[in-house]
Structure 1
Amino acid sequence: MNPSFSFPFEPYDIQKKFMNELYFTIEYRKLGVFESPTGTGKSLSICCGALQWLKDTNLKVVEELRKEINQLKLELSTTIGADDWLQEEYEKLKKNQLLVSLQLKLDKIKQREEKFTELKKRVNIQKKSLNKIEHHFPKRDKPNEVDKSNEAGDVKDCDEKENIEDQDLIVEECQNKDDESDSEETCLDDENDSNTKIYISSRTHSQLSQFVGEIKRTVFSNSTRVVTLASRQHYCINPDVTKLKNVNLINERCLDMQKSKTKSTSVGEEGKVLKKTKTSSCNACPYYNLNNITKLKEQLLVDIMDMEDIVKTGKQLKACPYYASRMALDDAEVVLISHAGIVSSGARSGISLKLQDNILILDEAHGLTAALENAHCAPVSAKQLCSVKTFLEFYINKYQARLSSRNLLQLNQVNFVVGKLLGLVQSKTANDKTGDATIFSLEDFVIKAEIDHLHLRPLVEFCRSTRLAPKLHGFSMRYSQQALEEENKKVEVKKASFKEFLSNMSKKKNQDEVLGDLHKSEIKASNQTNSVPTESSAGSGLYAVLDFLEMLCGRSADGRVLARPGDGGMLKYLLLNVAEHFAQVVQQCRSVIVAGGTMEPVAEFKALLTNNSLEVDRVNVVKCEHVVPPGNVLGVCLSKGPSNIQLNFSYEYRASKDLLNEVGRVLRNVCSIVPDGVVCFVPSYSYEQMLFEHLTSTKVIESISKKKKIFREPKSASEVDQVLHKYAAAIKNKESSDLNGALLLSVVGGKLSEGLNFSDDLGRCVMVLGMPYPNVKSPELQEKMNYLNKSTPGAGSVYYENLCMKAVNQCIGRAVRHANDYACVLLVDERYSRPQTVAALPSFVQKSLKTNCTFGQTIGSIAKFFARHKEKK
């Protein structure tokens, strides 16, 4: 069986290899580790290979069903009389039942195809009518703005009435879990769908948008139903909800608005509306309209849209993109989702993701382990604990007369636990130094925190079911604002009222201290505009506490708690073995493929896919060569500088003036002979700052500026695009400025080391100064390495080495992005010449790599390399 692939152009041999291997890995239910260097059309190969398999399989299923149905019909029509008539009738009955079930499957497939054809026609008619309306009535939104203002007025009136008694803030008795789930599933189709789905996952939503663009380029664009899934935080178009910023608060507010809408009418036994309540105008979301959501769902199934398109169309149709994408999930054939949505079991169940017998392809998989660790890590800061403690005490004392005895008891228990956790991060014994961290096993931690006698799970469930976090958030915001207004009017009256207000608080604390804590919390919260919570707000803080406690409830033998006391103190749950959790995903899927530009070390991904078992035969490892010819890449490991100084950037040497001076000489010479763009990666932001200051003081920056315009990676993400545009413009307009290009100083693991494209003139040389090893004294890293060493001696050191080389390989991958591109990769550190380090570099660099080079050899090789390519041009 040799599949033929529909490609937008004549594919390279490595692309053919990639698609073939992908096809057969899925066909034979295997697991795959696919390495295809950046710039080799990996995304397009994934789309064409996987979609070709899906289309072929769908056709094969129909053919097999027809063949089986015809065979059964033939057998039933030509039954020969048997001696045992009873057995004959039984066999006939069984065959008839099988025939009916097979015919039903075939009919469903036909109906689905017919339904999709009709859907296309209907959506095209809707789009034409919508375009006509917008053409003739371009300002139609104005009446809705009036309505919205009226609604806002209604909301304000409602809020004022609710403020009288704070009824919306009171914790009620636990509701049935069924009620909670109803709100999530209101928009979802109940039909069981047997569609085979391909889930494509990547690190960021912008990378998922690239897949949308690639699918549009293929022949499958008109016949494939694609949906991009994202959280409410990304998809919500209601400004009253998005202003909350925190994803948990956004989720809770959205569910609240749904309940307001669904409960706005009471329905009789026969389904007739009996009466309407007043809540609908106060809280219902105007975008949660089933008719509009259905229209948006149909449009995103017919037209392949990325996230921006879905949000834009959602605003036009006044329909919620979040629920439209979820409603489209059952009918979709390709589902695009971020790594975070796949690796967390909570996220998967929250969006009803069905992985059973489906295909999962994880692109940019070099970050998969980190994504798994983040998904099962729960940090909570001392600021968050302090905020929760303060407002929880305030809340209990204000409403204790109105709370049921059961709820009051559980609130006091939650307050007790938060107090103990806070005490642990604030405690300073004679041996403790601020910032020193300790790692505990889960058993040791609960004993140290003095909460080992409590059942934590019921407390977490109580907080979740009563929705304490959004109530506490509303409480903290409402009374912080109130306090600020009173302070502006009458400062003295405000102080007196708060002393009176806090008179009933616990006698365990000095009243002046409590007042001081509360006053600080109020002023901090009241400075936020429009009640937007910060990371230390009571609501978002309680969510962090609950996530932390939930992890403790798991009592995993591989779980640890990091406790760092002091002013910037924190607690952090760590999971040392993430493969166990990823095994749940692998078991469900028909096939799981991890793909990336550099998949070294392969052993790490094999262990992740097989949960460290011996089932490695099921893993298909595919390594594709780069499309770039070996002569287009020059790799050099520079071991000695111009002054013959040994180049070693380990932590104890990197700040020496001799080494910094040597770096200045290397940069000055490289910038003189390399045309166009040079990107230089350094180990950290602090080292980049130190290096830049030193080169400025020694006039090296001034000297380089005569050859190239110098740019530095900004710390703010919002400034990255601006710097990149200026860098590109400096290279493009080099002739008018008498310069030969630009130099960009970047940071390994920073904003420019992943996902960016320095092709052609933008990246003729990529330099990496030093080896970016993480801080080996980090308690988290030490614990992880010790854990690995216990299972396999030496595994901790291998893990540490791999962390460094993964970061280096991501930097190298920024250059050489297509077959005709060429670039020099300059690795400045004597340690790059070690055999184990060379083996961890990308194969396309290894082919031309020169190790243990002196400065003279290096400069000569670089000069010849660019002279040769200048002649070719």
Structure 2
Amino acid sequence: MDIDGVEVLFPHQAYGIQVDYMKSIIHCCQQKVNGLLESPTGTGKTLCILCSSMAWIKTFEPIMRQSVVTDEEGVQQEIVVSDDSHIPRIVYSSRTHCQLSQCCQQLKRTHYKTERAVVIASREQLCLRPDVRSLSGTTHQSMKCSQLKKEGKCVYFQGFDQKVKSSQLLPEVDQYYASRDDNDCKVMDIEDLVDFGSRHTCCPYYGAREMARKASVVFTPYTYLLDPGIREANKMMGISLKNSVVVIDEGHHTEQSLEDCMSAVLTTQTLDASIKRIDLIVKMLETSEDKLLELFPNSSPDVQDVRQLGTCLRILRTHINRKFVSKPVSKPPTEALFELLNESGLGFPAIGKWIAILDDLCDIHVDTGTSSLSVEPVWCLKLMRDFFCKIYPKCMSASVGAKSLIAEDIHCLIITSGTLSPMESFNVEMDIKFNVKLQNNHIIGDNQLSIINICRSRDNMALNSLYRNRTESYYIALGQTLIEILRAVPKGVLVFFTCYEVLNNCTEIWKQNTNDNIWDKLNAVKEIFLETKCKHEFNDCFLKYKQKVDENQSSGAVFFGVFRGKLSEGMDLPDDYCRGVIMTGLPFPAVMDPKVKLKKQYLNNANTELTFDEWYGLQMKRALNQAIGRVVRHKDDFGVVILMDSRFPSYSDGLSKWIETFIEHNDNNQSPYYVTE
């Protein structure tokens, strides 16, 4: 099909809203402008993005390769055909590795599968060594990997640099493509990379990064794109964002993700480990001047400075115990923190020197692999350095990270999601102009989704999740109402609570309430599964939930989770796995959360266009939008959304455009009768 002069090869007849979406993508690419594109889950966003952006590149590639050479008088002399460096590529980011794998599968379905595409993923996903992959945390995995490389003990990395230098890697990749059933497909997802690495005894983690240098499409998690430190590391490996069409999918979290990537956290565990590490380094440096020259052949830190840094950290540790642990802090958090750092000798201007010393100390293990320091990993010093680098420009504004991303000289930035609304805050918080904005409707019919507000329980108690209303009688009314709704909704149902505290309070009271037997009645209607904070426990629970729904004679299952948790983000639960979503309250952030308090302080003092109250409401609406989006995952799916909070009508303004269509405005929706009868 032809869209604004671009021939798009789409795998099937496109819907009208898909054409509108692809038209917006192509406009962003052609005009080099940024876009905010909202389209519900199930409308084929990923397919539209990949097909339209690749079609634009293929259409204009011959023109973009050409550069006109003129003489001194401006007269054209010749047309020079340039290499691939002038051709934009697609850098597609999403929240999880699972979502990126789904994107790869979508690309494999298209005509553009013949273009090189690869996923950049973590060691946890790609490393072939169980002793590295099983370690907790990316820092520990990175340190173990570095140690094995230095000692020449990783068979998958041996000879890797030589393969790259002699240009042997990509021919091996081409051989791998040719050996597959679909031998013209050049898309490498995580499974493909692991399979390639196993067959060719080649590291998939570093192999993917080398493949990315020549790829037309690079899939990457959020942090690899938004974190300046990771971007810089990728540049050193030849992976640049320059001239790239940057796509952020599931982009409703972009502002928060940018703030997080530009911020840092320092724990007492890190502080204690850093002190111990520095003591060990000082002891080694003092015993051998030769060792100092070996570690730092060009320039070395003064041993006295290293010792002084350790002293400053000890003072900081003492102050933390005295000022933060033993008694509450009366001053604003940021003021108290900077005062603490200054009193410890870690304020301006000395902080620059300490950061430079930490840089040197972090390199000791990496450069030498000395046994005397290998036992005590350097992760703590890296975290300490990152903290000092980031704490002074403490990030309360997404604009810091957004401008850092734009400064990479990208072609354009496209943020998309099923739930971007309200969109106004993106311009304000990111301080970037978005010339193209789209809010698509859904492709489903009016009879496939109902959004119903229940304001009162059957015994006429108001359902309102305000903190002051969270009494035992409220929790009991909530449980009794849930029982009635679960009896009416078939198969799988997701129930979202505002936070873990409310979830735990509900389950505890329902179990203890022997008069009404709420917990037993709930479990009798549908088997209950609970979301946990532990990743591995959640994955096991998620699998068991799906198995229960799949049972032929089963009445289904109910999964209790929290807004902004694993269940509400990125989990694909189509058809019977989610016939209903029930929300037990409005998901406002906790006002006493330190991050929320800091954000309030920042917005109140910064005189921005966005007030704290507006920001606070936006966070609630985004979480609400995202949870509602769980229920319909494709054009033939259907379900119901129940909002159990009497305040909802006052906050319905600002929900995604497609959601507003399905909200039922009916006087009968004051009680569960409306759902169950």
TM-score (normalised: structure 2): 0.86
Counterpart of 2:227?
344
Counterpart-to-counterpart distance in 2, 1:685 and 1:282 = 42
- 1:276-328 CA deviation, whole Å, 9 max, x = no partner? xxx86899953635338955534557531112321221122111223322322
Residues 479 and 321 of structure 1: CA distance in aligned 2, closer, same or farther (over 3 Å): closer
- Kindly provide the CA deviation profile for residues 108-158 of structure 1, in whole angstroms up to 9, marking residues without a partner as x: 57xxxxxxxxxxxxxxxxxxxxxxxxxxxxxxxxxxxxxxxxxxxxxxxxx
Partner of 1:605: 426
Equivalent in 691, 703, 711 of residue 529 of structure 2: 711
Counterpart mapping for 1:243-258 below 5 A:
247-248=138-139, 250-251=141-142
SS of 2:86 mapped into structure 1: coil
SS of the aligned residue for 2:242 comes to coil
Find 2:207's aligned residue among 315, 318, 324: 324
User: In the alignment, what sits opposite 1:228?
Assistant: 119
Which amino acid in structure 1 is aligned with residue 224 of structure 2?
A: G
AA in 1 matched with 2:657: S
Alpha carbons of structure 1 residues 772 and 445: separation in structure 2 relative to 1, 3 Å: same
Indicate the SS of the match to 2:14. coil
Quick check: 1:771–1:804 contact (8 Å CA) kept in 2? yes
**Distance (Å, rounded) in 1 between the aligned partners of 2:372 and 2:274:** 15
Shift of 1:395: 4.2
After superposition, the Cα gap between the structure-2 partners of 1:395 and 1:827, relative to the gap in structure 1 and judged at 3 Å, is: same
Give the secondary structure class of the aligned counterpart of 1:621: strand
**C-alpha distance in structure 2 between counterparts of 1:773 and 1:813, whole Å:** 18
User: Structure 2 vs 1, CA of residues 690 and 756 (structure 1 numbering), >3 Å: closer, same or farther?
Assistant: same
Cα deviation, residue 376, structure 1: 1.4
Amino acid at match of 1:297: L
Q: Is the 8 A contact 1:634 1:845 kept in 2?
A: no
Paired residues of 1:469 and 1:543 also in contact (CA < 8 A):
no
Contact 1:197 1:334 in 2 (8 A): yes
Q: CA offsets, 1:203-262, max 9 Å, x none?
A: 12221111111111011112x11122235564443556556655445545655666x5xx
Aligned twin of 1:745: 560
Question: Does the CA-based 8 Å contact 1:637-1:852 persist in structure 2?
Answer: no
Corresponding position of 2:110: 218
1:315-714 equivalences in 2 (<5 Å)? 315-352=198-235, 353-397=239-283, 399-403=285-289, 407-428=302-323, 432-433=327-328, 438-440=333-335, 444-452=339-347, 455-467=350-362, 470=365, 539-552=378-391, 555-556=392-393, 559=394, 575-587=395-407, 588-611=409-432, 616=433, 619-654=435-470, 656-698=471-513, 699-714=517-532
8 Å CA contact retained: 1:297, 1:324: no
- CA gap 1:464/1:672 in 2 versus in 1, 3 angstroms: same
- Structure 1 residue 394, shift from structure 2 partner: 4.5
CA drift of 1:453 comes to 6.6
Call closer, same or farther: CA 1:440–1:300 in 2, change over 3 Å. farther
CA distance in 2, matches of 1:252, 1:629: 53
Separation in 1, partners of 2:410, 2:366: 39
Alpha-carbon offset, residue 3 of structure 1: 3.1
Residue of structure 1 equivalent to 2:90: 198
The one-letter code of the counterpart of 1:321 is P
In structure 1, C-alpha distance between the alignment counterparts of 2:317 and 2:406, rounded to whole Å: 39
- What is the one-letter code of the residue matched to 2:343? K
For 1:503-530, what per-residue CA distance to the aligned partner results, in whole angstroms no more than 9, with x for missing partners?
A: xxxxxxxxxxxxxxxxxxxxxxxxxxxx
Q: Between the two proteins, what is the percent identity of the paired residues?
A: 23
CA RMSD in angstroms, aligned pairs only: 3.4
Q: Is the 2:91–2:219 Cα contact (8 Å) retained in structure 1?
A: yes
CA contact (8 A) 1:227 1:329 kept: yes
| Matching residue's letter, 2:410 | C
CA distance in 1, matches of 2:603, 2:589: 17
Which runs of 5 or more residues in structure 1 are unaligned? 73-88, 110-192, 261-278, 481-530, 532-536, 560-574, 865-873
**How far off is 1:407 after superposition?**
3.4
Q: Determine helix, strand or coil for the equivalent of 1:467.
A: helix
State how far apart, in whole Å, the 2-side matches of 1:19 and 1:282 are.
45
Counterparts of 2:571 and 2:131, CA distance in 1: 34
Mean alpha-carbon deviation: is it higher for 591-600 or for 435-444? Answer: 435-444
In structure 2, distance between residues paired with 1:411 and 1:60: 57
The corresponding residue for 2:655 is 841
Using the alignment, how far apart are the partners of 1:760 and 1:818 within structure 2? 9
Q: How does 1:112-127 map to 2 (within 5 A)?
A: none
Q: Which residue of 2 aligns with 1:807?
A: 623
Counterpart in 2 of 1:288? 160
Q: Which residue of 1 aligns with 2:181?
A: none
Distance 1:742 1:250 in 2: 37
Partners of 1:756 and 1:620 lie apart in 2 by 29
Q: Distance in 1 between matches of 2:618 and 2:103?
A: 28
What SS does the corresponding residue of 2:202 show, helix, strand or coil?
A: coil
List per-residue Cα deviations over 1:740-789 (Å, max 9, x = no partner): 32222222222211111222222221100012222212233122123223
Give the conservation status (yes or no) of the 8 Å contact 1:473–1:538: no
Label 1:285 to 1:54 Cα distance change in 2 as closer, same or farther (>3 A): closer
Question: For 1:850, what is the secondary structure of its paired residue?
Answer: coil
Deviation per residue, 1:702-738 (Å, 9 max, x gap): 223333222222443213343333323333324x35x
Paired with 2:31 and 2:346, the residues of 1 have a C-alpha distance of: 51
Q: Distance in 2 between matches of 1:580 and 1:409?
A: 36
Match of residue 180 from structure 2 = none
C-alpha distance after superposition, 1:563-609 (max 9, x if no partner): xxxxxxxxxxxx11231331132241221110001111211222355
CA distance in 1, matches of 2:509, 2:368: 48
CA–CA separation in structure 2 for the residues paired with 1:416 and 1:650: 48
- Partner secondary structure for residue 758 of structure 1: coil
Query: Which segment drifts farther, 247-256 or 340-349?
Result: 247-256
SS at match of 1:634: strand
**What CA distance in whole angstroms lies between the structure 2 residues aligned with 1:281 and 1:831?**
61
Moved more, 660-669 or 785-794: 785-794
For residues 90 and 434 of structure 1, what CA distance do their matches in structure 2 show?
Answer: 69
Q: Distance in 2 between matches of 1:826 and 1:287?
A: 58
Any conservation in 2 of the 1:696–1:702 contact (CA below 8 Å)? yes
2: distance between equivalents of 1:56 and 1:453? 53
User: For 1:377, what is the secondary structure of its paired residue?
Assistant: coil
Give the deviation of 1:814 after TM superposition: 0.8
C-alpha spacing 1:342/1:421, structure 2 compared with 1 (3 Å): same
Could you tell me how far apart the structure 1 residues matched to 2:538 and 2:647 are? Answer: 31
Structure 2 CA distance, aligned partners of 1:428 and 1:741?
Answer: 52
SS of residue in 1 equivalent to 2:592: coil
SS in 2 for 1:40: coil
- In the alignment, the residues of structure 1 paired with residue 549 and residue 135 of structure 2 have an alpha-carbon distance, to the nearest angstrom, of 42
Question: Conserved in 2, the CA contact under 8 Å of 1:473 and 1:540?
Answer: no
**Partners of 1:411 and 1:350 in 2: how far apart?**
26
Q: What number of residue pairs does the alignment pair up?
A: 646
Partner of 1:314: 197
Partners of 2:502 and 2:52 lie apart in 1 by: 44
